[in-house]
Amino acid sequence: MANQRKFFVGGNWKLNGDKQSVDGIIKFLNDGPLDENTEVVVSPPAIYLDYVRGKLNNNVATSAQNCYKVAKGAFTGEIVSAAMAKDVGATWIILGHSERRHVFGECDELIGQKTKYVLEEGLGVIACIGEKLEERESNQTNEVVFRQTSAFAANISDWSKVVLAYEPVWAIGTGKVASPEQAQEVHASLRKWLADNVSAEVAQKTRIIYGGSVSAGNCKELGTKPDVDGFLVGGASLKPDFVQIINARKA
């Protein structure tokens, strides 16, 4: 049941911030108060991972926004591996974000390889999936998200370290939000896919979170849906409103 899955809220800062603005985010997170029944993870740009971990209270974990598929090597310009992220205190990595897929051209296969490596390093994976507007309009949502989930699943032996993030591409940074009903419908379909293709236990226990223009205004209603186990928040995670989103399930 939904209430056995710990609510999970991630803040993806994307390519934003300088030390001054990062200090401001750290301050409102440290001041809180944050719902102790919600797992909170923030994902600063890689260059600030160590800085943020050093100043942030321990009730908020840190995540890299991406990584390469190996620990080290001759890969000029790649900025973080899971081993390096772990070395500076990060415990999660976001993989497969739509901006990595559609801006930087990462394919399902590469994202799968990264997933296998990150889990081998003992870190958690925030596994992102989601359809583009034309795919939704041509009724391909399930086809797309099942294909993307399948590429993750082929590389996962232990699902306890995986959070699935459904992020419809048409709702990211556009101000358009999937309605709570639309989000619930896709999340329920994903849970059924997990039951049919992985196991009933994995389907029941895996947290499926929603991302795409989540705000203080819509988080409470989204959070009431039985298969919405939290959020992956973009722009709103840079603002004090993020605390309200973290506390969406608090009475």
User: Two tokens at 10?
Assistant: 């991630």
Residue 197 has pLDDT above 50, yes or no: yes
Tell me, what's the pLDDT at 3? Answer: 52
d(CA 246, CA 7): 9
Helices (H), 43-198: 49-55, 82-87, 98-102, 108-120, 133-137, 141-153, 180-197
Query: For residue 91, is pLDDT > 70?
Result: yes
Q: What is the pLDDT of residue 2?
A: 42
CATH number 3.20.20.70 is the correct assignment for the domain at 2-246 = yes
Q: How far, in whole angstroms, is CA 45 from its chain's centroid?
A: 14
Whether the per-residue pLDDT at 251 is higher than 80: the answer is no
- Distance (Å, whole) CA 92 – CA 61: 8
Query: What pLDDT sits at residue 168?
Result: 95
Break the chain into its structural domains and give their ranges.
2-246
Q: Is 97 a catalytic residue?
A: yes
Distance in angstroms (rounded) separating the CA atoms of residues 186 and 228? 10
Residue 4: the pLDDT is 86
pLDDT digits (tens, 9 = 90+) for 224-236: 999 999 999 999 9
Segment 26-66, tens digit of pLDDT:
999 999 999 999 999 999 999 999 999 999 999 999 999 99
pLDDT digits (tens, 9 = 90+) for 143-162: 999 999 999 999 999 999 99
In the annotation, is 187 catalytic? no
Q: What is the pLDDT of residue 173?
A: 74
Q: Does the pLDDT value for residue 128 go beyond 90?
A: yes
What's the mean per-residue pLDDT of the chain? Answer: 95
- Inter-CA distances, 224 with 45, 163, 187, Å: 31, 18, 13
Q: Could you say which DSSP state residue 73 is in?
A: S
When pLDDT is averaged across residues 102-124 and rounded to a whole number, the result is 97
Active site residue: 97, 99, 106, 131, which one? 97
Of 99, 106, 167, 187, which is the active-site residue?
Answer: 167
Whether residue 1 is predicted with pLDDT greater than 70 in this model: the reply is no
